[in-house]
Amino acid sequence: MSGAVSQTMRLTILGSGTNVHPARAAAGYLVQTDHTLLLDFGPRTLMNLIKTGVDRHQVTHILFSHFHADHFSDFITFFFDALIYTKHEGGRRPDLTLIGPRGTTSLIESIMATFPSFSKPPFRVHIREVEGRSFRIGDTIVTPKPVVHVPDLNCVGYRLEYRKKTVVYSGDAQYCDNLVRMCREADVAVLDCSFPATKPGPVHMHAGDCGRVAREAGVGCLVLSHLYPVADREDVKAQAAEEYGGRIRKGTDLLAIQI
Ligand SMILES: [Zn+2]
Ligand SMILES: [Zn+2]
Could you give the domains of the chain?
10-258 (3.60.15.10)
- Per DSSP bridges, beta strands 140-146 and 135-137 are antiparallel
Separation of 6 CA from ligand 2 center, angstroms? 29
Question: Where does the pLDDT of residue 3 fall: very low under 50, low under 70, confident under 90, or very high at 90 and above?
Answer: low
Q: Are 54 and 32 in contact (CB under 8 A)?
A: yes
Separation of 172 CA from ligand 1 center, angstroms? 5
Separation of 147 CA from ligand 2 center, angstroms? 13
**Number of other CB atoms surrounding residue 168 within 10 Å:** 26
Q: Is 257 exposed, middle or buried (0-12, 13-18, 19+ CB in 10 A)?
A: middle
| Cα–Cα dist 168/170, whole Å | 6
What is the percent of the chain with per-residue pLDDT over 70, rounded to a whole number?
98
What's the pTM value of the predicted model, to 2 decimals?
0.97
More confidently predicted of 141 and 2: 141
More confidently predicted of 20 and 50: 50
Question: Where does the pLDDT of residue 6 fall: very low under 50, low under 70, confident under 90, or very high at 90 and above?
Answer: confident
In the predicted model, what is the mean pLDDT of residues 56-79?
Answer: 98
Separation of 175 CA from ligand 2 center, angstroms? 15
Ligand nearest to the CA of residue 17, numbered in listed order: 2
Q: Are 230 and 196 in contact (CB under 8 A)?
A: yes
pLDDT, tens digit (0-9, with 9 covering 90-100), for 195-209: 999 999 999 999 999
Separation of 158 CA from ligand 2 center, angstroms? 15
Q: Is 125 exposed, middle or buried (0-12, 13-18, 19+ CB in 10 A)?
A: middle
Sign of the Cα torsion 181, 37, 126, 2 reads: negative
Burial 202-235 (b: 16+ CB within 10 A, else e): ebbbbbbbbbbbbbbbebebbbbbbbbeebbebe
pLDDT, tens digit (0-9, with 9 covering 90-100), for 204-237: 999 999 999 999 999 999 999 999 999 999 999 9
Look at residue 2 and tell me whether its pLDDT is greater than 50.
Answer: no
pLDDT, tens digit (0-9, with 9 covering 90-100), for 110-137: 999 999 999 999 999 999 999 999 999 9
Phi and psi based region of residue 147 (left: phi greater than 0; alpha: psi -120 to 50; beta: remaining): beta
pLDDT, tens digit (0-9, with 9 covering 90-100), for 239-258: 999 999 999 999 999 999 99
Find the farthest-apart pair of alpha carbons in the chain and give their distance in angstroms, rounded.
55
Look at residue 151 and tell me whether its pLDDT is greater than 90.
Answer: yes
